[in-house]
Amino acid sequence: MDLHFGDSKPTDEERAAVDALLGPPESSWEGADRSDADLRWARGGREARDRRDLLLPGLHAINDRIGWISEGALDYLCRRLTVPPAEAYGVATFYAMFSVKPRPATVLHVCTDLACAAAGASELCAGIEARLGLGSGVSVERSPCLGLCERAPAALAIKAGDPVRTAVSAPATVPDAVLAASAPESAPEEPPAALAVPQAGGDGLILLRRVGVVDPASLDDYRAHGGYTALRRAFELGPAGVIREVTDSGLVGRGGAAFPTGRKWQATASQPDHPHYVVCNADESEPGTFKDRVLMEGDPYALVEAMTIAAYAIGAHKGYVYLRGEYPRALHRLEHALAQARARGLLGDDILGQGYAFDIEIRRGAGAYICGEETALFNSIEGYRGEPRSKPPFPVEKGLFGKPTVENNVETLVNVLPVLTMGAPAYAAIGTAKSTGPKLFCVSGSVDRPGIYELPFGATLGELLERAGVREGLRAVLLGGAAGGFVRADELDIPLTFEGTREAGTTLGSGVVMAFDDTVPLPRLLLRIAEFFRDESCGQCVPCRVGTVRQEEALHRIVERTGAAAADDIALLREVGRAMRDASICGLGQTAWNAVESAIDRLGAYE
Amino acid sequence: MTAMPLGVPRRLVEFTIDGQEARVPEGATILDACRAAGKDVPTLCQGDTLTPKNACRVCVVEVEGSRTLVPACSRKAEPGMEVHTGTERARHSRKIVLELLASSVDLSTTPQVADWIKEYEAKPERFGPDAARLDEEPKIDNELYVRDYDKCILCYKCVDACGDQWQNTFAISVAGRGFDARIAVEHDAPLTDSACVYCGNCIEVCPTGALSFKSEFDMRAAGTWDESQQTETTTVCAYCGVGCNLTLHVQDNEIVKVTSPHDNPVTHGNLCIKGRFGYQHVQNRD
């Protein structure tokens, strides 16, 4: 690899930001001043190239410090890591949170997605833009779902510097959001995560039992409330025993695809190729989903313990948490939890004195819904564009760095703790025969008490909405987020199980339950969903790259039309939707038409 | 005596294509089997010298038991697979893919695509006059070749040929995301400020004419490009001792373009700047 660099030089601050992550450069080959020794030895090569996975953290380091990524900064980072500048440019331009053009140090992300739109995001956005125009030092960006749906409308301010400052304003008003953007360091503290859990502290909770009860910063508190009993049990059972318990429990993935967790673990554990990896998918970006954020903010050690168990079961010594870039509080809580666990021997070379070594690294996403797709996530961690890979081979065989990998969602992993503490039979007795265990639901929209609800599988949609205090005039409920489907207000007896929703011709997805009353114009909602998919398509395959654009154009044309005037475009949507579902590479394109189709067929959105 | 490398003997995989028995060596793709069986499956992003990227999705076929259609170019044949190449479902997706491409990209120089559009009864105009197009101007920043990204279907072949599959120069990448994704060098700079070594191997693999010799681009603009008047002569490059094959495309006794045979066992269609572009002395008649 003979790399070519331009003449742009990094500023001292850009250089410092990169060096803070990578350490000072060792030779001119890595961007230091040239010394006599450099003329004799070429450094770099494989050793440097093998650090390609530090490209994304490097881009974050620059963006966090400066607010954007200049040519000089990108070139310097490329020199340090022996990455071709063209490829690094391709990676930097892939993520919505990065900019390769100068912009103000502060960016205010104002959510205009479904729950926030229904809560008046467009007026909020207009108000903020009027106050924070050019010259205000703040760049206002309309953002997809920020995962703060229980407090809609929401805004997130990120002020570059050393250190980078963030502030969340939710529910946001124009003055609050402007304050958060102009002085993030003095903005009021976010309410505790437990406020997103209306059942907090109640009896009978399993997954949420510690949220709002324990101090999320205290490892002692976690242990006093049953923490690390599951890991002890795991060491008693041995790896094969853990996998047997998880398989017998009937636990399936909670991220949306509902794949049996035990089978995934078994398939990875039995791969002869090493090392094995555990990856936690915490890139929660499905509009309307915020359960993983609440778990990580309210009970971060549970995730650390669960990942340790997963690693032990499959023989992995290294784990990654791929955390959504828009979740600053979850990042701080998890970083703190990891440091505490390391200091107390619960991560590291000899966990609980059992001689088992495992550690976890956090990698931040940078604003790309597609990186929640498991193979796109691997590419993102590895320092490539977050484009999905074609399957097969599946991650259990060739995953992160081409090695056997278990990738699980946060909620799935946290479920492993009760599986081990209660035992598989007791866990499997919860819920229904085909959907076992407790499930978290993210309820938002037209309800009095939005938030995360934990119910055993099998409760009906109506029961859930009643708990959340559904308001008068319910028109439709969106299940599973933008990739899910709408159901009517008279279908509230749908049981919230994988099989029950499938039978009803809809999906549970990641557990989003978003209620809309009859004041929300459906065509606008559908247009927002279409805009979301157009913005978030990675662009790799034609059906999704162009199909999502054509879908949005058609929905735009019929936003004010009904009946015969919309019929031609609906027929066109059906044809394009079918090809997207059949021929796209990954789940994004395959599901991009689901919600729109369900709104047309079930709700009669254009009749 | 010439030694023919035979390689490791490979097992044969037996499966069916459209109800007919098919046998291909283990590791062969569905597309390999279809072509061996004489079945016409359209392809755009597939390249005979490159690892399939399966980005265009025009080669999708139906495989029994699979929830979605599968790309024939990259899916390996498996024993017992039942493949259907011409079902309504597969043809529908191909038709839509052709419509989506033709309504957003200039396919005027893409070979065969007009026939497929006819065959699949694709109607790209039905997305209306306001359907978003790429709307790119040709990038003319050097004397050797032109990048006309209005014709780019984002097949990734040029990126792969420039990168670790052949040239290892890594001068280009896909930048941006979704419909705004484009092939670009770093910072979207002109080619002359990039790592490009002008080997032209990206032109060799480009399936749509988005990348073309400046000579071809100029002649097309002047209306003098006429492939029916061109002869192709394969010869050996005289510059160095590697002995790469060159195919000279000659029109009116002038070399207008240079390619290289993809089935050459050594170079697989790859050349360097000298073989690809260093032919002017041949026609310097002063």
Work out the angle at residue A265's Cα, subtended by the Cα atoms of residues A234 and A500, and round it to the nearest 5 degrees: 105
**In this structure, is residue B186 part of a structural domain?**
yes
What pLDDT is stored for residue A507 in this prediction? 95
**Residue at A75 is within a domain:** yes
The last residue of one of the domains, among B130, B156, B182, is B130
Integer Cα distance of B17 and B12 in angstroms: 15
The answer on pLDDT for B1 being more than 60 is no
Please provide the distance, in angstroms rounded to a whole number, between the alpha carbons at the two ends of chain B: 46
Q: Which of A485, A517, A549 is the last residue of a domain?
A: A517
pLDDT band at A68 (very low <50, low <70, confident <90, very high): very high
Same domain, B91 and B159: no
Residues A249-286: tens digit of each pLDDT: 999 999 888 999 999 999 999 999 999 999 999 999 99
Sign of CA dihedral B165, B168, B172, B175: positive
Range of the domain at B237: 145-283
Q: Do A284 and A395 fall within a single domain?
A: yes
Is the Cβ of B185 closer than 8 Å to some Cβ of chain A?
yes
Contacts 24+ apart (CB under 8 A), A458-463: A458/A431, A458/A432, A458/A495, A458/A496, A458/A497, A458/A500, A459/A495, A459/A496, A460/A492, A460/A493, A460/A494, A460/A495, A460/A496, A461/A487, A461/A491, A461/A492, A461/A493, A461/A494, A461/A495, A461/A496, A461/A513, A462/A492, A462/A493
pLDDT for the residue numbered B242:
92
- In 3D space, the residue among B280, B114, B116 whose CA is nearest the CA of residue B209 turns out to be B114
Q: Could you tell me what percent of chain A has a pLDDT over 70? A: 99
Same domain, B117 and B30: yes
C-alpha A599/C-alpha A597 separation (Å) is 5
Q: Is the pLDDT assigned to residue A597 strictly greater than 90?
A: yes
Task: Give the domain-ending residue among B97, B130, B163.
Answer: B130
Q: Span A306-321, mean pLDDT? A: 98
Are B155 and B271 in a shared domain?
yes
- B98's tokens: 């052709």
Cβ contact, residue pair B57, A583, below 8 Å: yes
Q: Of the given ranges (A43-57, A404-418, B46-60, B95-109), which has the lowest mean pLDDT?
A: A43-57
Task: Tell me: do A124 and A87 sit in the same domain.
Answer: no
Residue B4's pLDDT band (cuts 50, 70, 90): low
- CATH number for the domain spanning B217: value is 2.20.25.90
Check if the beta carbon of residue B87 is closer than 8 Å to that of residue B94.
no
User: What would the mean pLDDT of B181-193 be, rounded to a whole number?
Assistant: 95
| Residue A577 CA neighbour count, 13 Å, CB half | 21
Quick one: which of A94, A199, A112 has its CA closest to A524? A112
CA distance A566 to chain B (A): 14
A236 and A323 assigned to the same domain = yes
How far apart CA A347 and CA A321 sit, in angstroms, is: 14
Residue contact B97–A572, C-beta within 8 A: no
CATH number at residue B15: 3.10.20.740
Residue A115 lies in a domain: yes
- Top pLDDT among B284 and A509 is at A509
Say if residue A242 is in the same domain as residue A315.
yes
Taking an 8 Å cut-off on Cβ atoms, the answer to whether B92 and A582 are in contact is yes
Q: Cα dist. B147→A540, B153, B174 in Å? A: 20, 13, 14
* 3-class secondary structure, A218: coil
Residue at B91 is within a domain: yes
Instruction: Classify residue B140: in a domain, yes or no.
Output: no
A399 and A498 in one domain? no
Q: How many domains does chain A have?
A: 5
Helix/strand number for chain B, H first, E second: 7, 12
Q: Domain of A583: which CATH number?
A: 1.20.1440.230
Which CATH number do you get for residue A300? 3.40.50.11540
Distance from the B251 Cα atom to the nearest Cα atom in chain A, whole angstroms: 36
According to the model, what pLDDT value does residue B238 have? 92
Same domain, A324 and A227: yes
A539 and A510 share one domain: no
DSSP states along A104-160: -SEEEEEE-SHHHHHTTHHHHHHHHHHHS-TTSSEEEEEES--S-GGG-S-EEEEE-
CB pair distance less than 8 Å for B177 and A548 = no
How many CB atoms are closer than 10 A to CB B240?
10
Residue A196 forms part of a structural domain? no
Cα separation, A530 vs A550, in Å, equals 9
Would strands B182-184 and A348-351 be described as parallel, antiparallel, or unpaired? unpaired
In the beta sheet, which residues pair with residue B236?
A: B245
Question: What are the backbone dihedrals phi and psi of residue A452, each rounded to the nearest 5 degrees, phi first?
Answer: -90, 130
Overall number of domains in chain B: 2
Closest CB from B93, B171, B173 relative to A582? B93
With contacts defined as CB-CB under 8 Å, which chain B residues touch A537? Answer: 177-179
Q: How confident is residue B3, by pLDDT bands cut at 50, 70 and 90?
A: low
For residue A322, the cross-strand partners are A281, A363
Shared domain check, A472 and A540: no
B3 Cα to chain A: minimum distance (Å): 33
A-contacting residues of B 51-80, CB under 8 Å? 54-58, 60, 68-69, 71, 74
- List of chain A residues whose C-beta atoms are within 8 Å of the C-beta of residue B154: 539-540, 542, 545
- Which one, of A450, A486, A497, A452, lies nearest residue A469 by Cα? A450
Beta strand A474-479 with A485-488 is antiparallel
Exposed (0-12), middle (13-18) or buried (19+): which is B14, by Cβ within 10 Å?
middle
The answer on B180 and B63 residing in a single domain is no
Based on the domain organization, do B163 and B231 belong to the same domain? yes
* CB-neighbour burial class of residue B283 (10 A; exposed 0-12, middle 13-18, buried 19+): exposed
Q: Are residues B149 and B68 in the same domain?
A: no
Distance (Å, whole) CA B156 – CA B210: 12
Looking at A92, A114, A133, the residue that finishes a domain is A92
Q: How many residues does chain B have?
A: 286
d(CA A534, CA A555): 12
Residue B1 within a domain: no
Task: Inspect the interface and report whether the beta carbons of B178 and A578 lie closer than 8 Å.
Answer: no
Q: Is residue A7 one of the residues assigned to a domain?
A: no
Q: pLDDT category, A45, cuts 50, 70, 90?
A: low
Domain boundary among A385, A404, A428: A428
Residues of chain B with pLDDT > 90: what percent?
A: 93
Q: How confident is the model over B118-132, as a mean pLDDT? A: 97
Rounded-to-10 torsion of CA A187, A193, A196, A197? -160
B48 and B155 assigned to the same domain: no
User: Is residue B244 situated within a structural domain?
Assistant: yes
Based on the fold, state whether residues A347 and A480 are members of the same structural domain.
no
> How much is the average pLDDT of B216-225?
97
One domain for residues A304 and A424: yes
Q: Is the pLDDT of residue B229 over 70?
A: yes
The helix, strand and coil proportions of chain A, stated in percent and rounded to the nearest 5, come to: 45, 15, 40
pTM, two decimals, is 0.96
Q: How far apart are CA A277 and CA A161, in angstroms?
A: 33
Place B216 in a pLDDT band, splitting at 50, 70 and 90. Answer: very high
Q: For residue A538, list chain B residues with Cβ-Cβ distance below 8 A.
A: 177-178, 181
Position A208 in a domain: no
pLDDT band at A199 (very low <50, low <70, confident <90, very high): very high
Nearest to A539 among B89, B171, B178 (CB): B178
Q: What is the C-alpha to C-alpha distance for residues B249 and B269, in angstroms, rounded to an integer?
A: 15
Give the pLDDT score at A184. Answer: 94
Do A546 and B184 make contact, defined as CB atoms within 8 angstroms?
no
Residue-wise pLDDT tens digits, A557-575:
999 999 999 999 999 999 9
Which of B130, B159, B193 is where one domain is finished? B130
Per-residue model confidence (pLDDT) at position A251: 97
> Range of A61's domain?
12-92
Which ranges of A67-112 would DSSP assign to H, the alpha helix?
A: 71-81, 85-92
What pLDDT does residue A34 have?
81
Residues B120 and B249 in one domain: no
At residue B163, the pLDDT reads 95
Answer yes or no: is B136 within a domain.
no
Residue A423 has pLDDT above 80, yes or no: yes
The chain-wide mean pLDDT, for chain B, equals 95
Q: Could you write out the DSSP letters of every residue in A35-58?
A: -GGGGT----HHHHHTTGGGHHHH
- Say if residue A223 is in the same domain as residue A263: yes
H runs (alpha helix) in A344-477? 374-382, 410-422, 424-428, 461-467
Shortest alpha-carbon distance between residue A17 and chain B (Å): 20
Judge if A247 and A301 occupy the same domain: yes
- How many Cα atoms occupy the beta-carbon half-sphere of A15 within 13 Å? 11
Q: Are residues B176 and B260 in the same domain?
A: yes
In this structure, the answer to whether residues B111 and B152 fall within a common structural domain is no
- Residue A447 binned pLDDT confidence (cut-offs 50, 70, 90): very high
Are residues B113 and B163 both part of a single domain? no
User: Are B170 and B225 in a shared domain?
Assistant: yes
In-domain check, residue A97: no
Cβ <8 Å between A540 and B55 = yes
Inside any domain, residue A211: no
Taking only residues 147 to 176 of chain B, the set having a beta carbon closer than 8 angstroms to any beta carbon of chain A reads: 153-154, 156, 163, 168-176
